Amino acid sequence: MLYAIVGAGSGLVMGTLPKLIADLVPLDRTGTANGINNIARAAGSVVGSQLAAAVIASSISSGAAGVPDSAFTTLFWLGAAAAVLGAALSPLAVLGAAPASSARPAERELHA
């Protein structure tokens, strides 16, 4: 069930970010801005997975039969802190950013 929630949330975010980016940057910079978004997302995934591996590896004691529950609890709280931080900082990313133009050239042609 948890994976379904995470999957649905990821799908909603990944589908709306390119549109948000396209609305906020000039038309000739849309590809670059979306590329930077993809790079940041990939780098975040790499850092997150390596952080999880480090937490799990550091929590395993010699001779232990498995990973202790405390490792997963720590990872949960780290993930929750990252989510809260992201939610708190995300409005700052678009604060004061006006759309690149009131209407894109294609939209202006449609309304003309």
DSSP-assigned states of every residue in the chain: -HHHHHHHHHHHHHHHHHHHHHHHS-GGGHHHHHHHHHHHHHHHHHHHHHHHHHHHHHHPPTT-SS--HHHHHHHHHHHHHHHHHHHHHHHHHHTT---SSSS-HHHHHHH-
> For the segment 30-83, what is each residue's pLDDT rounded down to a tens digit?
999 999 988 988 998 899 999 999 999 998 887 778 888 999 999 999 989 998
Q: Please say if the pLDDT value at position 108 is more than 50.
A: no
Residue 64 φ/ψ, nearest 5 degrees: -75, 145
Q: Please say if the pLDDT value at position 94 is more than 60.
A: yes
Give residue 106's pLDDT band: very low, low, confident or very high (50, 70, 90). low
